[in-house]
Amino acid sequence: MTTTLAAKPSRSNPVMPAEAVPRKRPLRLLRHSLALTKRSLIKTARTPEALIDVTLQPALFLVIFVYIFGGAVAGSTHDYLQFLLPGILAQTIATGCIAIGVNLNTDLQKGIFDRFRSLPVPRSAPLVGAVLGDIVRYVIVTGVTLAIGYVMGFRITTDPLSALAGCLLAVLFALCLSWLPVFVAMNVRTPGAVQGLMFALIMPLSFASNVFVGTETLPGWMQGFVDVNPLTHLVGATRGLFLGTPIGNHIWWTLAWCAGFVVVFMPLALRAYRRKAS
């Protein structure tokens, strides 16, 4: 292995490739982001244990909450399952997006991001690629939550189209919300800090909402927060789309929050990422 290396150069020279001039094509950002998306997907496929937070966790939460609190909260475990499932979906999405922040923060401390930075690649491509690569996780979490719910007795009472719209809305929300942990990841020093900070943000959002209980049971002073909480709107929207409950403006508020996350945190995350190079 070591002896042959010196002899080889005479045959082919790495400095003189078959194709020396890189081809310029349009849509570089998209193409480069997709190449980096593929990288994330390969990594996800290699480490299925990294999917525990979007598979085992929703299953555990459904089982624990439905069978322990169902009777007390809703009088029947089946009624509570119907009520809770969209909430658990939203909560798992919110906690599931913490992983991208942890992963990116870890990546930043390895050499691979410096390699990306030394290539003629749009600076945002590694971050956009990572976010897009997480689509697969959010599709999995949606599928797993619904499948387990079905086994436990959950039934969609609307039509397939509405149900599909609910699933798509959940995945879209997840992608947009991801920019928050990405932003956090660019600004703290350790993966543990990303995890800790994100949990501190996600926990109040999950509980001070309509995820686990009807909001009318919550104290008045909390209602103001609950009413603007993005998870409340996502759950309101998916509940309406899955079960036909009154949907109000929940879809619009959810979309507005999606836009808000992207408009605010994507540029901030990219700016922080660029600044890492100075």
Partner 1 sequence: MTADLIIEAEGLVKHFGRTKALQGVDLAVPRGTVLGVLGPNGAGKTTAVRILSTLLTPDGGSARIAGHDVVRDAERVRQSIGLTGQYASVDEDLTGRQNLELFGTLLDLGRAGARRRAAELLEWFDLTDAADRMAKTYSGGMRRRLDLAASLVGSPAVIFLDEPTTGLDPAKREDMWDVVRTLVAGGATVLLTTQYLEEADALADEITVIDHGRVIAHDTPDGLKRVVGGQTLEVRPADLTDLGRTAAILSEVSTGAAADEIRKGVLAVPVAGDAALTEAVARLAGAGVAVTELSLHLPSLDEVFFTLTGAPQKEEVPA
Q: In the bound complex, what is the minimum distance in angstroms from residue 125's beta carbon to partner 1?
A: 8
Binding segment (CB under 8 A) for partner 1, from list 9-17, 73-81, 189-197, 233-241: 9-17
Report the 10 Å Cβ neighbour count for 141.
Answer: 26
Within 13 Å of residue 4, how many CA atoms lie on the same side as its CB? 2
Stretch touching partner 1 by CB under 8 A, among 7-15, 94-102, 204-212, 246-254? 7-15
Within 66-125, the residues that bind partner 1 by CB under 8 A are 110-112, 114-121, 125
Question: Can you tell me which residue has the tokens 């939203």?
Answer: 90
The answer to whether 107 and 113 are in contact (CB under 8 A) is yes
Say if CB 235 and CB 86 are below 8 A apart: yes
Q: Closest distance between partner 1 and the C-beta of residue 133, in Å?
A: 12
Nearest Cα neighbor of 231 from 215, 242, 245 is 215
Residue 35 CA, distance from chain mean position: 19
Q: Cβ 113 to partner 1, closest distance in Å? A: 9
Question: Do 238 and 90 contact (CB within 8 A), yes or no?
Answer: yes
Distance of alpha carbon 124 from alpha carbon 87, whole angstroms: 33
Between 14 and 220, CB nearer to partner 1: 14
The yes or no reply on residue 30 touching partner 1 (CB under 8 A) is no
Q: Is 246 in the site for partner 1 (CB under 8 A)?
A: no
- 170 binds partner 1 per the rule CB under 8 A: no
- Cα separation, 198 vs 17, in Å, equals 47
6: contact with partner 1 by CB under 8 A: yes
Give the HSE-up count for residue 261: Cα atoms under 13 Å, Cβ half-sphere: 24
Q: Minimum Å distance from CB 15 to partner 1?
A: 3
24: contact with partner 1 by CB under 8 A: yes
Stretch of 32-40, 53-61, 197-205, 259-267 contacting partner 1, by CB under 8 A: 32-40
Q: Which residues bind partner 1 (CB under 8 A)?
A: 1-2, 4-6, 8-9, 12-20, 22-25, 28, 31-32, 35-36, 38-39, 42-43, 46-47, 110-112, 114-121, 125, 277-278
